[in-house]
Structure 1
Amino acid sequence: MRMQTNFIERQNIYAESYRISYSSWGNPDAKKTLLCLHGLNRNGRDFDYVAEYFLKFDYYIVAPDLPGRGNSSYLQDGRGYNLDSTIADLTALIEQLELKNIDCIGTSLGGAMGLMLASMPQNKFNKLILNDIGAEVELAGIIRIATYSGEDLDFSSFEEACNYYRQYSLNDGIYDDSVWLHMFSHSFQKNSNRRWELKRDRKVAASLAEGMLSNGNIDLWEFWKRISHPTLIIHGINSDLLLESTIEKMQHLQPQTKVLTIEDAGHSPYLYRQEHLKRIAQFLMS
């Protein structure tokens, strides 16, 4: 079934109206939903391979572009790019689309959002997949991401943009040139000067990093302690955001938690390989 792109209308506490774009696959009346949440600088098209694989399991698959990313609106006031506003946006998306029986897979920041949503009372989540994110996020990794995320760069050609940002994506575990091309084809756009730039508002990283860096390591333990959902943690073994000690503590608190370790990736694994998608499917179908 072909992908569709739609949007919902939102207004934040700063009285700013904006649109949230989302990609969807499958039948909206399906009995279960796969909600896919992307990382800080990314967008919902990161889950194209996931969607293609999971359509055969009769999911309605939804992958939003968070505000300031992909095809969603850029906010004039960067203060709107905060965790509370993002949670409110995702809650509105779930309600407006009447999503039900939700299995959620979130990469990095998207995983943190999924964890927070799944910890709320009367949520509609069934199972949770955290892609290289845990209940504690290491400061060193945050600093690394914040450093390159805040760069205001553009490039004269698509190839130049790809070559530059590929150096920051080597930990994604991509070993197929066609996958690199697919990812980057949905990562860049031409700006008003006809130069190539990332499809994201630079204020996103600045706003989120300001709060994160002032508090040291990100602590999501209070949310994790409230999780009763079966959870799969995907761990890029070379990750500088998710440590094995954090995973061990999470499993101690929630013994039902499963782990999929990806040996040739760091932060954060790009989900396209059949062997990894098969393991995810085994978890979701169990």
Structure 2
Amino acid sequence: MGAVRKGSLQCLSKSGFHELAYRESGPNHPVPVICLHGLARNARDFEALAAALAAAGRRVVCVDVVGRGDSGWLRDPMDYGYPQYLADTVTLIARLGSRQVDIVGTSMGGLIGMMLAAQPDNPIRRLVVNDVGPFIPKAALLRILDYFGSDPRFADLAEAEAYHRRIYRGFGDLSDDQWRHLTESSLRRAGEGWRLHYDPRIAEPLRAAEVADVDLWPLWDLVSCPTLVLRGAESDLLLAETAAEMKRRGPRATVIEVPGCGHAPALLDPAQITPLRDWLAEA
């Protein structure tokens, strides 16, 4: 696929400017694929998918959402939320200079894509939503909040990998090499050890709010672009009945259930990547 090209741009929050980092690969296709990660993850989750899409001739841009990975941290942690994430993504789309984009979003990234695709005159041509939907049960949110925004320190990579295998067991039966990649790409140095590669304050707005079921069905009904939904067969966040309703309402999505994983399919294996790549190529 050629070299991965690192880039960044300045975006604006209520408290000032911040850097939004991204990783780009593939040729200069007229419709870029923007990949948006989950709540506590980063752009490198999409390295295998980006390689496959780039090899198929697509321009792929994987984003570190603000507060994660190589992107900057916000001065006011209460600005971490979807209005800021949407504004940053729109700024990135303007930077790319394309009238249309495809979006692949995992969990939080899928909600960002859904919110953009629900807007009038939006530039989203095709949308892939990975294990998230317009209804999110309270129980799944409480499970995520149990670890989200924590700031553990790890003495070595083995300790960090054990943590990631426990927290992200919903990713499924990954190989040792895949677990090691997910671990190493999630860390930054902290003295002689390691810590997670995000601003731990990203959780403050969620912790300050009352936890309840999330109902975004009115938003889903406004989405009209072709949409693919991936659902982990054992997911507690995207329930089977929610995925079934997503086929009947709004964009009447195509739904693929991914066996052997919960929240969320990691998009590391050809069995998950190939149908996604082929569906995007149908445009």
1:7 aligned partner, one-letter code: S
Task: Kindly indicate whether residue 186 of structure 2 is the aligned counterpart of residue 190 of structure 1.
Answer: no
Q: TM (normalized to structure 2)?
A: 0.95
1:216 to 207, 212, 217: 212
The C-alpha deviation readout for 1:195-251, integer Å capped at 9, x for no partner, is 21110111112223434xx26112221221111111111000111111111112222
Whether the 8 Å CA contact 1:32–1:58 is kept in 2: the answer is no
Segment drifting more, 49-58 vs 252-261: 252-261
**For structure 1, which segment, 170-179 or 95-104, has the greater mean C-alpha deviation from structure 2 after superposition?**
95-104
Alignment match, 2:147: 148
Q: For this pair of structures, how many residues does the alignment match? A: 281
Residue identity matched to 2:201? K
Q: Superposition pairs for residues 85-164 of structure 1, below 5 Å?
A: 85-164=84-163
Q: 1:208 to 1:94 in 2, by over 3 A?
A: farther
Mapped partners of 1:269, 1:285: distance in 2: 20
Match of 2:255 among 227, 241, 259: 259
Aligned twin of 1:19: 19
Q: 1:209 to 1:37 in 2, by over 3 A?
A: farther
Residue of structure 2 in register with 1:57 after alignment: 56
Structure 2 vs 1, CA of residues 227 and 255 (structure 1 numbering), >3 Å: closer, same or farther? closer
Cα separation, 1, equivalents of 2:29 and 2:251: 31
- Which stretch shifts more, 231-240 or 149-158? 149-158
Cα distance in 1 for residues equivalent to 2:99 and 2:175: 35
What is the match of residue 78 of structure 1?
77
The TM-score normalised by the length of structure 1 is 0.94
Q: Give the 3-state SS of the residue equivalent to 2:167 in structure 1.
A: coil
The correspondence of residues 269-280 of structure 1 with structure 2, limited to 5 A, is: 269-280=265-276
Per-residue deviation at 1:255? 6.5
Could you tell me whether the CA contact under 8 Å between 1:33 and 1:100 is conserved in 2? no
Could you tell me whether the CA contact under 8 Å between 1:34 and 1:60 is conserved in 2?
A: yes
**Cα distance change, pair 98–208 in 1 and its aligned pair in 2 (3 A):** farther
* Identity of matched residues, %: 31
Determine the structure 1 residue equivalent to 2:3.
Answer: 2
d(CA) in 2 for partners of 1:2 and 1:180?
Answer: 23
Look up the SS of the partner of 1:207 in the other structure: helix
Once the 2 structures are TM-superposed, how far is the Cα of residue 265 of structure 1 from its aligned partner? 0.3
**Structure 2 CA distance, aligned partners of 1:99 and 1:38?**
21
Q: C-alpha distance in 2, partners of 1:115/1:209?
A: 23
* Matches of 1:13 and 1:175, distance apart in 2: 40
Q: Which runs of 5+ in 2 are unaligned?
A: none
Partner of 2:203: 205
Which amino acid letter does the alignment assign opposite residue 207 of structure 1? P
In structure 1, runs of 5+ residues without a counterpart are: none
Who is 1:176 aligned against? 175
Matches within 5 A, 1:224-243: 224-243=220-239
The 3-state SS of whatever aligns with 1:85 is helix
Q: Deviations over 1:243-278 (max 9, x none)?
A: 111112222214741111111000011001112211
RMSD: 1.4
Whether contact under 8 Å (1:40, 1:205) holds in the other structure is no
